[in-house]
Structure 1
Amino acid sequence: MSASIAPSISALVSGAPTLAPMVVASPPAAPPRFTPAAPAAPGFVHHLVHRPNTPEGVVLGTAAPVTQEFAVSAVLPERHPLFNDGADAFHDLHSPAEALRRTALFVAHRYFRVPQERPAVFASTEVELTELEPWRRAAGPAHLTMDITLRPADVVNGVPRGLECESALSFEGVRCGTARARLVFLMPKVYQNHRERGRAASRSRPVEVEGAEPWPLRPEPKAVGRTDPRNLVLGTPAQNPAGELLVQVLADPANAVFAEAAGDHVPAVVLVEASRQTAFLLAGELHGFTVAGCVLSRWSARFQGFAEPDLPLWCRALAGPLGRAADGRPALPVTLVFFQGSRQVGSVETTVLQDC
């Protein structure tokens, strides 16, 4: 959320950036097309608007390597094969995380002139609900808007080697969440060395799986908040002596969403989905939550590397003390760690909220 949510999440259909009704901005003379960085998924359309802060930005559609503001207007899909699969009670955190990822990548290359050959790493990403009700699904298409601030970091010769991203989220005009991300652009040689070291460490057998007691069966899709078996990304769970839930990440290669996002590392959409499914499984099977009424109210990820697609990828999860949200709903904090061999790929702190 692969380091990408950290380096990648996937799947939007783009539209040419136009002036959305909820913002006021001066578009550049020749608006650039907001082209998705990966193959598109059905029905997901969004538009980008730059709010330039210099005359050059207004006329040329470029940006100086200083803090810049943008707005995104997105119509979420009603029949997406992954995002709309499940109890259909709430919008997934996938959507704003994906919109922020794609916006940051597009802005980095189009406005801040970051060379395309520099691999992008989303070192951290966080999405949090501040109001639950606007996230509840209703009949018809949903309209997501994001006011995004991008701050260049480590600027060398006018080109940033990183971006700090912050965004306020609204559904149907109601402010209801925040999103943040830290993006790093690696020099090609640094990226290559990083991948080689990570791959070597990923080949060893992880000590965390030693002595773990496997469950009898692989979970049913409904136990992880989905209905389509092709969207299940978890193998047979197990519990280790430390009381942690262990599961191997096994995405169906025939799944169009996962296949379209595939590259030379495990795509972030798989990591996001694996963390979601593992957290729901833990809350439902071990803490009595009704998964059909669950929603992630916070998802905060930190990634140290890329997950290799041809080597076993594991996730371990441990729940914290059961608490209550501000409105009294049960809230279960869950810590998840993705690892391959002796190497930690990333960690996720999330909260499962029970709608009741």
Structure 2
Amino acid sequence: MPPLTEGTVDQLTGIDDLEYLRTVDRTLLHRWALSEVFLTDARRVDDTRFLAAAQLPPTHPYYTDHLVHDGRVPDPLLLIECCRQAETYAAHVFHDVPRDAKFILRSWSWRGLGPAAVLPPGPARLAVQVSTVRPQYRGSELRGLEYHMDLWLGGAPVGAVRLEASYLSAPMYEAARSHVRGRTPAPRSDTHVAPDAGPEVAPHLVGRTDPRNVVLGDARTDGRGGATARLRVPADHPSMFDHPLDHVPGMVLMEAARQLALFTANDRRGSLSRQAVTAFSATFTTYVELDAPVSLEAVPVDADPAGGTAVRVSVRQNGVEAAAVTVELGDALPAGE
């Protein structure tokens, strides 16, 4: 089975057999709400490869709420979420990771390929080819795996995702969390009130239209092309916190980094009407807790040769960098425009 970047969907054995009729069991994706389930099929090719299918919603209160292109191009974070669902499903079904195991995100990235694909009027079909590498075992139990994913939408490549995850049994996870927090139990997002993050940022300054999707507070530019902000933990958000958690999930940190990168672009260029994310990469080194303030700092890095810009966002808590996210921005228009 050749890499997707070298072939076409029609050349890939099994792609045409993927089904888009119904979503898979939501519990295998660690999701409560059916509206947050996008994976419709996953089929194993061999011990290290599988194919997956997902249906992208034509409208969604979070994933299609964007100023750029009026939501007509796929949100990179939606594509990453589809890949996360494929990884989680595969870990349980293909690799026998227990259902009560805890999944730890180590790193992930997405890079677009070519002009942004235009979404069809109705639901869009996403096809994903996955190769797994560098498995880590403890005895017979899978403890870690890397996923290399190539994505197709309507017969056109829409990017490549790389994802690294670790898997811990429930007792080992509890022991690890206790070691980090000492005698203080981790609060849950459904009962804990997060620290105040200061004045809420206006949605249009971070590429949004709905204030409920804004996760930054007290955002300020530094006069050198960078910016700082504090994280507004959206514990009641139905997409970012689909179910109660004892930490801030990586997807929220990615969203915060995207918003701060767009905030810096807005300050430099005066408008977000043409700014699109063309690549993401992130590493996560420790859990972000719910009961301590979280700060973000954005610093411009080397510009893309094609004319885009890149921003590195450091996510810090208690004086420690918990995550580092690089967001690349460009003036990309949808295909044909």
Instruction: Report the RMSD for the aligned CA atoms in angstroms.
Output: 2.8
- Distance in 2 (CA, whole Å) between partners of 1:191 and 1:157 is 18
Unaligned runs of 5+ in 2: 1-12, 19-23, 183-197
- Distance in 2 (CA, whole Å) between partners of 1:38 and 1:24 is 25
- Does residue 22 (structure 1) correspond to residue 15 (structure 2)? The answer is yes
Asked which structure has the greater RCO (Cα within 8 Å, sep 6+), the reply is 1
Residue 213 of structure 2 is matched in structure 1 by 231
Identify which of 76, 79, 82 aligns with 1:96: 79
- Distance in 2 (CA, whole Å) between partners of 1:142 and 1:160 is 33
Residue 348 of structure 1 is matched in structure 2 by 325
Residue 301 of structure 1 is matched in structure 2 by 282
Select between 295-304 and 108-117 the one with higher mean Cα deviation.
Answer: 108-117
Q: 1:342 to 1:242 in 2, by over 3 A?
A: farther
- Distance in 2 (CA, whole Å) between partners of 1:188 and 1:45 is 26
Q: Which amino acid aligns with 2:269?
A: G
Identify which of 102, 105, 118 aligns with 1:122: 105
- Distance in 2 (CA, whole Å) between partners of 1:68 and 1:266 is 31
Indicate conservation of the 8 Å contact 2:145/2:166, yes or no.
Answer: yes
1:129-165 per-position Cα deviation (integer Å, ceiling 9, x unaligned): 012232x334222221111112351223332211110
Residue 35 of structure 2 is matched in structure 1 by 42
Matches within 5 A, 1:284-323: 284-285=266-267, 287-288=268-269, 290-323=271-304
TM-score by length of 1: 0.75
Identify which of 39, 51, 57 aligns with 1:77: 57
Indicate conservation of the 8 Å contact 2:221/2:264, yes or no.
Answer: no
1:12-36 per-position Cα deviation (integer Å, ceiling 9, x unaligned): xxxxxxxx973458xxxxxx84643
Unaligned runs of 5+ in 1: 1-19, 26-31, 54-66, 201-215
1:237-264 per-position Cα deviation (integer Å, ceiling 9, x unaligned): 1356987411101034443223424411
Q: Which amino acid aligns with 1:86?
A: H
Would you say how many aligned residue pairs link Structure 1 and Structure 2?
298
Indicate conservation of the 8 Å contact 2:151/2:159, yes or no.
Answer: yes
TM-score by length of 2: 0.79
Indicate conservation of the 8 Å contact 2:42/2:90, yes or no.
Answer: no
Q: Which amino acid aligns with 1:76?
A: L
Q: 1:140 to 1:21 in 2, by over 3 A?
A: farther
Residue 173 of structure 2 is matched in structure 1 by 191
Q: 1:334 to 1:21 in 2, by over 3 A?
A: same
Q: Which amino acid aligns with 1:92?
A: D
Residue 170 of structure 1 is matched in structure 2 by 152
- Distance in 2 (CA, whole Å) between partners of 1:24 and 1:90 is 25
1:169-203 per-position Cα deviation (integer Å, ceiling 9, x unaligned): 11101123101111112355653454345447xxx
Select between 268-277 and 234-243 the one with higher mean Cα deviation.
Answer: 234-243
Identify which of 243, 246, 261 aligns with 2:228: 246
Q: 1:114 to 1:170 in 2, by over 3 A?
A: same
- Distance in 2 (CA, whole Å) between partners of 1:199 and 1:354 is 43
Percent identity over paired residues: 23
Q: 1:193 to 1:241 in 2, by over 3 A?
A: farther
Indicate conservation of the 8 Å contact 1:43/1:80, yes or no.
Answer: no
Residue 89 of structure 2 is matched in structure 1 by 106
1:50 deviation in Å?
A: 1.9
- Distance in 2 (CA, whole Å) between partners of 1:220 and 1:143 is 33
